[in-house]
Amino acid sequence: MAEFRTEMHDGVAVIRWDVPGRSMNVMTRAGLADLAACVDAALGDGDVRGIVITSAGRDFAGGMDLALLAEMKRAAGADPARGIFDAVQAIHALLRRIERAGMDPATRQGAKPVACALPGTAVGIGLELALACHRILVADRADARIGLPEIKVGLFPGAGGTTRLVRKLGVMAAAPFLLEGRMVAPEAARSAGLVDEVVPADDLLARAIAWVRGATAAECTRPWDLPGHRMPGGAPYATAGFPTFVGASAMVTGRTQGVYPAAAALMSAMYEGALVDFDTALRIEARWFTHVLMDPTAEAMIRTLFLDKSALEKGARRPSAPQGRVARLGVVGAGMMGAGIAQAAASAGIEVVLTDATADAAARGRDTIARALDGAVARGRISSDRAAAALARITTASADLRGCDLILEAVPEDPSLKAEVLARAEADAPGATLSSNTSTLPIGDLGRGLRRPEAFVGLHFFSPVDRMPLVEVVRGPATSDATVARAFDFARHLRKTPIVVNDARFFYANRCIIPFLNEGVRMIAEGVAPALVENAARQLGFPVGPLQLIDEVSVALAVRIARETRAAQGRAAADDRADRVILALAEAGRLGRKAGAGFYDYDAQGRRTGLWPGLEGRARPDIATLRDRLIFVQALEAVRALDDGVLEDVREGNVGAVLGWGFAPWSGGPFAWLDRIGADRAVATAEALARDHGARFDPPARLRDMARSGATFG
Amino acid sequence: MDAFLYDAVRAPRGRGRADGALHEVTALRLSALMLDAVVARCGVAPDAVDDVIWGTVTQVGEQGGCLARAAVLASGLSERVPGVSLNRFCASGLEAVNMAAAQVGCGMADGIIAGGVEMMGRVPMGSDGLALAVDPTVAMARHFVPQGIAADLIATEYGFTREALDALAVESHARAVRAWDEGRFVRGVVAVRDINGLEILARDEAIRPGTDMAALAALKPAFAGMGQGMPGFDAVALMRHPHLERIAHRHTAGTSSAIVDGAAAVLVGNRAFGAAHGLRPRARIRATARVGCAPTIMLTGPVPATERALAAAGMALGDIDLMEVNEAFAAVVLRFLQAFDADPARVNVNGGAIAMGHPLGASGAVILGTLLDEIERRDATTGLVTLCVAGGMGVATVIERV
């Protein structure tokens, strides 16, 4: 069945995109052929006076079928770059045929008007197709999203979107869409100049057809096809454009720390394209796009951040059990995490009972949520109506948890307090699923005193709840499949990405983050210049360095973890050198950001003013070794988590690492990174690190086996 | 090497803006005036030299299209003298002299006029394009930052305080004032005259007599905004210098070289050239060097360039009587002094570009002439000229009186 089909509306060819079996259109290989057939037929038919391209569905398109990109590469066999380049050039040729629409290049006459009518969301190649049309109309649906998010999965718009948007808006105005992948609602898209008109949804097709009927020859010629077209904001060597281009390169370099090939390729496609005519610019864009697809970074990011993440969200690791929708949630503990989870749940339409030790504390939690919602309204993230409705779903009046489908405790990390809270919750609501937001305590231990430990599960949200996309669903030794499924469904309801992990100290994420933090502290103990430690982490693509991260979570917590690790695992596991630094900091009252002092100094407003001069390290070892230490200490721990059965699926290890703690997103996660460098090289480097820096770098047996056999994780 | 300096002239440097005295003068005319001045002073025939090698950085508009050849044709030189324009950024004027010396020394030519011009008030810096800064394949990959950021990076990396930078600038102005007051520039500076012979400018215009620490302390750091704010060049620089937490922005307009209009010409020839034209050589070019260095910190080239030139000359820094280290930024000179533990009393003795200005393509020839005159005035023997260069380069020349 064709993915595009044409119907005639009194001389206007309406080409509808309708990919069978998909709720949202995506561009496939067959789709490209069908679109070409429809377009060529309409352009070649003397009775057709114009074209409207639209969708049969509620939205226009979700973008390119990313699996197709990998397929393109494989299909080309020995010369994948040639295969990709030719395929991309074919897309350019098709979109260019739409854009020229039969125009005589000499007289610039004879083009048939082409309008694009977007009923809703238009993303990626969906928008790129629209940008090749003469007029873009969008239905006034506030929930629709328009944008080019390719950069977020390690790509950049490679179907002409880069070249067209830069010529349409200029580098400065195009930057948020191309470089940050910003997605906007129709009205914002119109004011930014991405689309031409926002019209009532019911009138969309009629308005598009009317535009086609009335369009003049001038309206069917793109500005860049006119002689003397100048780029808005100036070309790279124009007086106005020069500082913009210089600044854009610098900004992107600083922000990406040079680890995202797609960002650099995008910059080059924009720069080189801006120096030449439109068709040459498209060819340049295709060369850089091919270059990015040939880089392992894009493949790793697509796989982890799109393919694997989608598969996990669709339930690849959810036990088969009936759907159990949570209608009413009880949250015990109205601190930062409890309030954050309550807010997320209420925003997703769930009734929430928020309780704490006292009514006052619960009320304070609700006030925190009210302020956070106000802030979200002020920033335009949600409408004030939706914010008010969310707040109205949260009650604190009664500590009565009866009728809750799911109860989540988020009280301080004190095992006896948690046990008491959970036992009371179980008594109050005997049929409810119970869960704990603990980040460190084994679920099996917490559930020991419960009458129904099978209905108890860990739900480890990350802070801040509204921004962190990952939830660790922790299966305790007694937790039933149905309970895991319910926790999984709850996380999905909140639009989080759940990974299902087994119960062990620190679960998966914290198990890997803690060695990262310790390694940074150890470097301080060794006298390494503290800025070098932080910058080594940044150069790996971590959003913040280990010292800053400790300040954020608090030095007190680091002290507690150090003490508990010592108590639970004995001296062998203890990290004496690192612990001494942490303890000294704590004794000096430097307990982190909240205390106004930690590894960093802070001003009265709580802003970092600089590393504490009391850290006297001046040593400057090779930063490459520091980078290796910081990334290996995490990646090896991830492998151990897999060995220990905490992780059961490599995909969860990759997705969890990137979404949970910002593990070098360019790498696609620790397992993808190990595959990329190869187990043999990983083992050799780890052995060298173990020799120089300690047994924590000893490569696990699994990795050694893989080095011998040439196996990979993925 | 058998290459000699027969004479050197320069124009007074005018403030490089609309109210600067030389703003009305074309780059062509100022170039031709310098060519005529050196020919007239040496009394050589219009066709005596084999070439004119002319340094200009911003080769666009009136400074574009091989200005060297246009300057020959606009001057009193014979049309049989060709001309070539070159660009080694800030060292172009010295590079012109070095290339002339190389050609003369190896017998390709007998006599060449080398020098350069830059009318910074008329042809803005950067208006000729700069792939180094714009093309992402080099700007991003090699961590390009503007020179002001690089200068602050040197100050941070090598520990030069704001006070040390300011003190160097105070000294630059004081030395320039003294040099003018004592007539030390009389020999080298040729007044710029209009088409009617009326004087336009006879003295360096950018010097601010009485510049003191208090006046400089009042100035704001010039490069903090572009470094820490938008677009954030500091983050780029720190990728190459990750042991630093931040860049201390210490340079101000007062510790950066002044933007000026200027030109200079040097007559280089072999011994036979002097004999043929009845000229006595003033100095011999003993060695030259050009180096590439780290492009982000960019302005540290004078140190390796000097090392290489000294090695080529078989000398140590202690053998050099006087030095000219171009004051592109105060930290550049302080780094030179620090690296060689050099005596500040022998470096830039008559002030430098912070006081008098840095007409990019001309500066190398300008300070070479200043050095030559001062060596003779003091009856000293040896001298060294060096400049930092954009993109991470350095150029140096060692001369010796004969």
A562 pLDDT more than 90: no
In a domain, A266, yes or no: yes
What is the model's pLDDT at position A572?
59
Q: Is the peptide bond before A149 cis (omega within 30 degrees of 0)?
A: no
A600 and A687 fall within a common domain: no
Residue with tokens 């954050």: A340
A188 pLDDT more than 90: yes
A259 and A360 fall within a common domain: no
**Distance, in angstroms, between B140 CA and closest chain A CA?**
6
Q: Is B241 a catalytic residue?
A: no
Q: What is the CATH number of the domain that holds A431?
A: 3.40.50.720
Other CB atoms within 10 Å distance of the CB of residue A583:
15
B260 contacts B205 by C-beta, under 8 angstroms: yes
Q: Distances in Å between the alpha carbon of A243 and those of A234, A247, A290, A522, B138?
A: 10, 6, 28, 42, 16
Closest residue by Cα to residue A331 from A415, A404, A414: A404
Contact assignment for B231 to A251 by CB distance below 8 Å: yes
A232: left (phi over 0), alpha (psi -120 to 50) or beta: beta
**How many Å apart are CA A156 and CA A64, to the nearest integer?**
12
In a domain, A600, yes or no: yes
Task: Count residue pairs from A and B with Cβ separation < 8 A.
Answer: 93
Contact assignment for A253 to B239 by CB distance below 8 Å: yes
Catalytic residue among B143, B173, B249, B358: B358
Closest residue by Cα to residue A357 from A290, A430, A411: A411
- In A275-414, where does DSSP find H-type helix? 278-293, 296-302, 309-313, 336-347, 359-378, 384-392
Question: Phi/psi at B243 (nearest 5 deg)?
Answer: -75, -10
Last residue of a domain, one of A483, A506, A529: A506
Last residue of a domain, one of A582, A611, A640: A611
Give me the residues paired with residue A460 across strands: A472
**How many Å apart are CA B43 and CA B33, to the nearest integer?**
15
Last residue of a domain, one of A577, A611, A645: A611
DSSP A592: B
Contact assignment for A267 to B140 by CB distance below 8 Å: yes
Contact assignment for B239 to A539 by CB distance below 8 Å: yes
Q: What's the rounded mean pLDDT across residues A377-405?
A: 87
Q: Is B106 a catalytic residue?
A: no
A605 and A567 fall within a common domain: yes
What is the model's pLDDT at position A570?
64
Write the CB contacts of B391 (distance below 8 Å, at least 6 apart in sequence). B89, B132, B295, B298
A399 pLDDT more than 70: no
What is the model's pLDDT at position B388?
98
* Nearest-CB residue to B143 (from A253, A530, A531): A253
**How many Å apart are CA A598 and CA A613, to the nearest integer?**
11
Question: Which residues does chain A have within 8 Å of residue B140's beta carbon, measured at their own beta carbons?
Answer: 249, 252-253, 258, 264, 267
Question: Which residues does chain B have within 8 Å of residue A530's beta carbon, measured at their own beta carbons?
Answer: 245
ipTM beyond 0.85?
yes
* Nearest-CB residue to B126 (from A242, A251, A252): A242
In a domain, A577, yes or no: yes
Considering chain B, what percentage of its residues have pLDDT values greater than 90?
100
pLDDT band, very low/low/confident/very high, at A566 (cuts 50, 70, 90)? confident
Q: Which pLDDT tens digit goes with each residue over B328-348? A: 999 999 999 999 999 999 999
Contact assignment for B232 to A257 by CB distance below 8 Å: no
Other CB atoms within 10 Å distance of the CB of residue A106:
6
pLDDT band, very low/low/confident/very high, at A573 (cuts 50, 70, 90)? low
A58 contacts A121 by C-beta, under 8 angstroms: no
| Residue type at position B72 | V
A338 contacts A437 by C-beta, under 8 angstroms: yes
**How many Å apart are CA A275 and CA A241, to the nearest integer?**
11
What is the model's pLDDT at position A571?
59
**Distance, in angstroms, between B89 CA and closest chain A CA?**
18
A129 and A16 fall within a common domain: yes
Q: What is the CATH number of the domain that holds A529?
A: 1.10.1040.50
Buried-state track A265-293, b at ≥16 Cβ within 10 A, e below 16: bbbbbbbbbbeeebeebbbbbbbbbbbbb
- Share the mean pLDDT of chain B: 98
**How many Å apart are CA A316 and CA A311, to the nearest integer?**
6
Q: Which pLDDT tens digit goes with each residue over A352-385? A: 999 999 989 999 999 999 999 999 999 878 889 9
pLDDT band, very low/low/confident/very high, at A452 (cuts 50, 70, 90)? very high
Residue A177: give the domain boundaries: 4-294
For testing the chain B interface, which of A249, A284, A600, A611 should be mutated: the one with the most B CBs within 10 Å? A249
What is the model's pLDDT at position A400?
79
The structural domain count of chain A equals 4
In a domain, A167, yes or no: yes
What is the model's pLDDT at position A557?
87
Joined tokens for residue B308: 């290489």
Contact assignment for A535 to B238 by CB distance below 8 Å: yes
In a domain, A653, yes or no: yes
* Nearest-CB residue to A254 (from B135, B137, B235): B235
Question: Which residues does chain B have within 8 Å of residue A242's beta carbon, measured at their own beta carbons?
Answer: 126, 129-130, 134
User: Which chain A residues touch B if contact means CB-CB below 8 Å?
Assistant: 236-237, 239, 242, 245-255, 257-258, 264, 267-268, 271-272, 529-532, 534-536, 539, 610-611, 620, 623
A457 and A590 fall within a common domain: no
* B112 three-state secondary structure: strand
Contact assignment for B235 to A534 by CB distance below 8 Å: no
Higher-confidence position of B209 and A383? B209
**How many Å apart are CA B297 and CA A407, to the nearest integer?**
58
Closest residue by Cα to residue A291 from A315, A309, A267: A267
Contact assignment for A239 to B127 by CB distance below 8 Å: yes
A67 pLDDT more than 90: no
**Distance, in angstroms, between B231 CA and closest chain A CA?**
5
A357 and A451 fall within a common domain: yes
Q: Would you give the distance in Å from CA A684 to the centre of its chain?
A: 32
Q: Which pLDDT tens digit goes with each residue over A676-704? A: 999 999 999 999 999 999 999 999 999 99
Catalytic residue among B42, B90, B251, B293: B90
Q: How many helices (H) and strands (E) does chain B have?
A: 15, 12
In a domain, A384, yes or no: yes
Write the CB contacts of B291 (distance below 8 Å, at least 6 apart in sequence). B301, B304, B305, B308, B393, B394, B395
A599 and A640 fall within a common domain: no
Q: What's the rounded mean pLDDT across residues A13-18?
A: 98
B101 pLDDT more than 80: yes
Higher-confidence position of A401 and A491? A491
A266 contacts A179 by C-beta, under 8 angstroms: yes
A331 pLDDT more than 70: yes
A73 and A209 fall within a common domain: yes
SS3 of A47-110: the string is CCCEEEEEECCCCCECCECHHHHHHHHHHCCCCHHHHHHHHHHHHHHHHHHHHHCCCECCCCEC
**How many Å apart are CA A432 and CA A436, to the nearest integer?**
13
In a domain, A316, yes or no: no
A154 and A101 fall within a common domain: yes
Q: Is B388 a catalytic residue?
A: yes
**Distance, in angstroms, between A36 CA and closest chain B CA?**
35
What is the model's pLDDT at position A383?
86
**Distance, in angstroms, between B18 CA and closest chain A CA?**
19
- Share the mean pLDDT of chain A: 94
* B141 three-state secondary structure: coil
Residue in chain A lying closest to B137 (CA): A268
In a domain, A321, yes or no: no
A415 and A559 fall within a common domain: no
Write the CB contacts of A698 (distance below 8 Å, at least 6 apart in sequence). A636, A686, A687, A690
**How many Å apart are CA A665 and CA A540, to the nearest integer?**
9
Q: What's the rounded mean pLDDT across residues B372-380?
A: 98
**How many Å apart are CA A179 and CA A263, to the nearest integer?**
7
Other CB atoms within 10 Å distance of the CB of residue A371:
11
What is the model's pLDDT at position A68?
81
**How many Å apart are CA A365 and CA A368, to the nearest integer?**
5
Question: Which residues does chain A have within 8 Å of residue B232's beta carbon, measured at their own beta carbons?
Answer: 250-251, 254-255
Joined tokens for residue A43: 């352009």
Q: What is the CATH number of the domain that holds A264?
A: 3.90.226.10
A463 and A542 fall within a common domain: no
B280 contacts B27 by C-beta, under 8 angstroms: no
**How many Å apart are CA A296 and CA A664, to the nearest integer?**
14
Q: Which pLDDT tens digit goes with each residue over B214-272? A: 999 999 999 999 999 999 999 999 999 999 999 999 999 999 999 999 999 999 999 99
Q: Which pLDDT tens digit goes with each residue over B189-201? A: 999 999 999 999 9
pLDDT band, very low/low/confident/very high, at A574 (cuts 50, 70, 90)? low
A361 and A251 fall within a common domain: no
